[in-house]
Amino acid sequence: MADSTASPSASANPAEPNRAEPADRPVYVIGGGPGGLAAAYALRARGLRAVVLEKSDRVGASWRGHYDRLHLHTTRRLSGLPGLPMPRRFGRWVSRDNVVRYLEKYAEHHELEIITGVEVSRVDRSPDGTGWLLHATGGRELTGAAVVVATGHNHTPRVPDWPGRDSYTGDLRHAAEYRNPEAYAGRDVLVVGVGNTGAEIAVDLVEGGASRVRLSVRTAPHIVRRSTAGWAAQYTGVLVRHLPVAVVDRLARPMARLSVPDLSAHGLPRPQTGLYSRVNEGSIPVQDVGLIDAVRKGTVEVVAAVEAFEDGKVVLADGTRVEPDAVIAATGYTRALEDLVGHLDVLDPRGRPVVHGARCPDNAPGLFFSGFTNPISGMFRELAIDAAKIAKAVARDGSRQTSRLPVT
């Protein structure tokens, strides 16, 4: 059976399955985060019916689960999604809670067709070869003319399989479970990973009264000031976004020396590889929100990478053994796309889509991906750009026979 029906209510359930004719098939957007909502609006703006399928009970689920102090590292003006700017009252650096408010307002303002509580487990070509068949919660089968996968860059928490991890009885949790420093006041905490999340949690712990904070680093990151004399780092990211990698690497070195002090004596040497080269490998620069000062003052101690857990202690790469009260693994996320689309041969060896934005994989026309890169020009900005490109690509493909919205 195939079902292409959906209710405009964000809390509604799909109707009983029925076979959809090709001309009645909507574009299904998997994921009700910023990428999915932006894509749905852009499709709707072109008169195409887009149905957002969100597995949680509300839009913006991943944002609701982030730690309390989180703010966008990109400016409010360059972070609005298409068709609705972020309110000025949110300030220059928008808080987590205001991002959630904005996403809720965005869905309401544009009257997006959203179905919550529906998780898509697998995407296949439709039996007649003219669209896509989505296998969803409760045995539902939904047939769409096209599909936009927008399940998010940070989908499933990843904790390395360190030797001895499974038998470690101490307080070990992923950063996805961290909300604020209240539970860590007066405690010795080891934060593992020096991406933006690990760096910000370490600072949060210091400011929240942890007795000792150590930051475990495997590879020294590039660190940039979020803003210098009013010039946001994002502006530079936008300007250099399409320059050759080697050129950006060369430009970044003198800028780093001028704006960021040498922290080598504190365990954070300047990286040997170029900034943009690292971005292409998936490593975004750390935007400073207090880490530099904390490291210089010694309130955040930089230590070697975690190698194993043994006898209730954490073994570091330099042979040191430490016994913190708590370990927070800011070790990133996986895209978790293998079960959903891995069988379609559309992922690279690292589990990322082989193409994104307006391009479809050569062997999967009508299948789009949004939000699986982490550009230096800003995630929200690129999601907005990709949404418009995806909608344009779907609209110009007449063979899709996509459902159109009624003219009012």
Would you tell me the crossing angle of helices 233-240 and 245-259 to the nearest 10 degrees?
Answer: 160
Strand order in the sheet with 188-192: 171-174, 326-329, 188-192, 212-216, 300-303
Q: Check: CB of residue 204 under 8 Å from CB of residue 341.
A: no
Distance (Å, rounded) from C-alpha 275 to C-alpha 280?
Answer: 9
Q: What is the pLDDT, as a whole number, of residue 361?
A: 96
pLDDT at 246 over 50: yes
pLDDT band at 397 (very low <50, low <70, confident <90, very high): confident
Q: What is the pLDDT, as a whole number, of residue 174?
A: 98
Higher pLDDT, 303 or 9: 303
Which residues touch 93 (CB under 8 Å, ≥6 apart)? 71, 72, 73, 75, 76, 226
Which residues touch 339 (CB under 8 Å, ≥6 apart)? 121, 122
Q: Which residue has the tokens 């600072």?
A: 203
The CA-atom distances, in angstroms, between 151 and each of 216, 322, 326, 368 are: 29, 37, 30, 12
Q: What is the pLDDT, as a whole number, of residue 6?
A: 43
SS3 256: helix
52: β partners: 29, 114
What would the two tokens of residue 213 be? Answer: 């904070």
Residues above pLDDT 70, as percent of the chain: 93
**From 129-133, 196-200, 280-284, the region with the lowest mean pLDDT:** 280-284
SS3 75: coil
pLDDT band at 402 (very low <50, low <70, confident <90, very high): confident
Distance (Å, rounded) from C-alpha 81 to C-alpha 185?
Answer: 38
DSSP 366-407: TEEE-S----TT-HHHHHHHHHHHHHHHHHH-GGG-B-BPPP
DSSP 51-95: EEEESSSSS-HHHHTS-TT-B-SS-GGGTPBTTBPPPGGG-SS-B
Q: Which of 203, 153, 173 is nearest to 329 (CA)?
A: 173
Higher pLDDT, 47 or 11: 47
The CA-atom distances, in angstroms, between 211 and each of 26, 181, 184, 188, 294 are: 55, 11, 8, 5, 14
The mean pLDDT of 101-108, rounded to a whole number, is: 98
pLDDT at 10 over 60: no
Q: Check: CB of residue 79 under 8 Å from CB of residue 381.
A: yes
Domains and CATH numbers, the chain: 22-155+335-400 (3.50.50.60), 157-329 (3.50.50.60)
pLDDT band at 3 (very low <50, low <70, confident <90, very high): very low
Other C-beta atoms within 10 Å of 286: how many? 24
Residue-wise pLDDT tens digits, 313-327: 999 999 999 999 999
pLDDT at 18 over 70: no
Q: What is the pLDDT, as a whole number, of residue 22?
A: 59
Q: What is the pLDDT, as a whole number, of residue 16?
A: 37
What is the separation of C-alpha 180 from the centre of its chain, rounded to a whole number of angstroms?
A: 20
Q: Check: CB of residue 132 under 8 Å from CB of residue 146.
A: yes
pLDDT band at 153 (very low <50, low <70, confident <90, very high): confident
Q: What is the pLDDT, as a whole number, of residue 163?
A: 98
pLDDT at 85 over 50: yes
What would the two tokens of residue 377 be? Answer: 């020009």
Q: Which residue has the tokens 């101690």?
A: 301
Q: Which strand (E) or helix (H) includes residue 239?
A: helix 233-240
Distance (Å, rounded) from C-alpha 301 to C-alpha 279?
Answer: 25
